[in-house]
Amino acid sequence: MTVIGENDLIDDMLLADLVSELPHAVRLQRLVTSLRAAFDCGAVALLRLDEDSLRPVAVDGLVREALGRRFMPAHHPRLAAILNRRDVTAFDHDSALPDPYDGLLDTRVGEPLPVHDCMGTSLHVDGQPWGVLTLDALRTGTFDQASRDRLRRCTVRVEAALRVTRLEQEIHALRMARGSAGGGAGDGLLPGSDEIIGHSPVVSALLRELAVVAGSDLPVLLLGETGVGKELFARYLHQRSSRVERPLIHVNCAALPESVAESELFGHVKGAFSGATTDRPGRFEAADGGTLFLDEVGELPLSIQAKLLRVLQNGEIQRLGTDRPRQVDVRIIAATNRNLRDSVRDGLFRADLYHRLSVYPAPIPPLRERGSDVLLLAGHFLELNRMRLGLRSLRLAPDAEQALCSYRWPGNVRELEHAISRAALKMVSRGAQRSDIVSIPASALDIGQPLEDALAGDVQPGDGEVGTGGIRPLRVVTDAAQRAHLQRALQASAGNWAQAARLLELDPSNLHKLARRLGLK
């Protein structure tokens, strides 16, 4: 009979996190944090093998720059010793091998690096080396035989969890390749992955808060610039609520012309208007028992706001063309990139509706305030594109990392996602082979490109889109010019689509259509 010891139970509890519903990056971060507490040691790091380098994907007890330092040579003597052995490898404090984390351990500033022990293990997924897990103890003698045995047991579970992660990522990449995930989803049932990537203190704190509020039925108002991930956070809330088995219905209020808004939201009966040939339920009924996500709620026409308020007050809807009330049980999550208080002041948004919706306002920070998350997100999108394009390795050249870190990202995460996808495709169209280690230079990123360059066609040698005589097709050049101009308008209006539409003298729904076609939405 196998007796499960107390340690096993603790290990099981901390590793249960690894197969939880949490996003991958959060799971890995929690893993290293839990391991550090369980082994009572100074630092834990999880490094992923990428060709001849090891990339830190989650660290605890190392200074933050360790995550930003994306590559450590895999042939570093200690790391290579760990990597090349399928067992736990331990180093005493007097080991002659240099420490890979020299200068990165989070000791008090100015203190010399204390003598310390370390141990590590290689990790394998599907028979292939995945990377290494390392533990550093600032007190010598922390790692005894029992801790080594314990790490050995943990390794098996960590590897199983990494395999689950890999499968999930493959499924997500397949969905993206089929075009069923991400921004192009339009209205209706929300598909796609809910993975929220981010370790920055602002995002971690927000996720902690939302995990708590998700369990209540309170309305949540997600606030933030375009592309910060409001839709993703709405999914996160729904998936952690008791309504998860019921639908999450998306309504893009900006794309709802006033004439059809009422019937779209509340449904209609046959004969309610010319063309209403059958009874049709609206979005509220479709979301019954689940969640209704009112995206860009600030754009709702005032007449519809009054009707929406009534539904929120009494939980009853009336299909257009009948007086018969129907009871619905719907949780509301709304999102806007407008300052709704200003809209209330300007008479564009009802104050009573604002108070109903903003019971729990959740501001989502712009990407430029998330520090090292930029590189973390870039790594995530690189990996998705690597899988989608079937490449062996896809990474950023140092100048590209630099460019990503110093850019202001007016289009936030969406803009980053598109920049990486465009650059990856560009590298392939320039002749990158599947077996190559593809390194994206800053010049391929095409971010913050001045309008003049876009208009000049910015011809690159070997660019797949270049026609005879080095002339780009007109469509490519005008698309680039329109994309750059739209980004400027959005930047000038602080991500407010309605205001950008006014600046551009475009109808808001046409602006949304155009932004979607140009990959900005």
The binding site for ligand ATP (CB under 6 A) comprises: 182-183, 195-198, 224, 226-232, 295, 337, 377, 413-414, 417, 521
For the chain, the C-alpha Rg in angstroms (whole number) is 26
Query: Closest approach of Cβ 295 to ligand ATP, in Å?
Result: 6
Query: Closest approach of Cβ 189 to ligand ATP, in Å?
Result: 15
Query: Which residues are 440's β-sheet partners?
Result: 396
Q: Rank residues 227 and 267 by Cβ distance to ligand ATP and give the closer one.
A: 227
Within 410-473, where are the H helices? 412-429, 451-456
Q: Rank residues 53 and 226 by Cβ distance to ligand ATP and give the closer one.
A: 226
Written as one letter, the residue type at 21 is E
CA separation for the pair 44, 34 (Å, rounded)? 9
Q: Rank residues 214 and 228 by Cβ distance to ligand ATP and give the closer one.
A: 228
Question: CA separation (Å) from 77 to 97, 152, 189?
Answer: 6, 21, 52
Query: What DSSP letter does each residue of 290-354 carry, written as one string?
Result: SEEEEETGGGS-HHHHHHHHHHHHHSEEE-BT---EEE---EEEEEESS-HHHHHHTTSS-HHHH
Q: Rank residues 207 and 272 by Cβ distance to ligand ATP and give the closer one.
A: 207
Q: Which of 475, 415, 424, 500 is nearest to 449 (CA)?
A: 415
Query: Closest approach of Cβ 276 to ligand ATP, in Å?
Result: 30
Q: Rank residues 50 and 195 by Cβ distance to ligand ATP and give the closer one.
A: 195
Residue nearest to ligand ATP (CB): 229
CB 475 within 8 A of CB 481: no
Q: Rank residues 182 and 371 by Cβ distance to ligand ATP and give the closer one.
A: 182
Query: Which residues are 120's β-sheet partners?
Result: 89, 134
Q: Rank residues 224 and 371 by Cβ distance to ligand ATP and give the closer one.
A: 224
Helix pair angle (508-517, 497-504), 10° resolution:
100
Query: Closest approach of Cβ 486 to ligand ATP, in Å?
Result: 12
Buried b or exposed e, range 378-408, using 16+ CB within 10 angstroms: bbbbbbbbbbbbebebbbbbeebbebbeebe
Q: Rank residues 141 and 179 by Cβ distance to ligand ATP and give the closer one.
A: 179
Q: Rank residues 227 and 282 by Cβ distance to ligand ATP and give the closer one.
A: 227
**Edge-first strand listing for the sheet containing 291-295:** 188-189, 248-252, 291-295, 331-336, 220-223, 360-363
CA separation for the pair 270, 445 (Å, rounded)? 52
Query: Closest approach of Cβ 270 to ligand ATP, in Å?
Result: 34
Query: Closest approach of Cβ 219 to ligand ATP, in Å?
Result: 17
Query: Which residues are 188's β-sheet partners?
Result: 250
Q: Rank residues 18 and 197 by Cβ distance to ligand ATP and give the closer one.
A: 197
Query: Closest approach of Cβ 388 to ligand ATP, in Å?
Result: 14
Buried b or exposed e, range 12-46, using 16+ CB within 10 angstroms: eebbebbeeebbbbbbbbbbbbbbbebbebbbbbb
Query: Closest approach of Cβ 195 to ligand ATP, in Å?
Result: 6
CB 183 within 8 A of CB 209: no
Residue with tokens 């896809």: 394
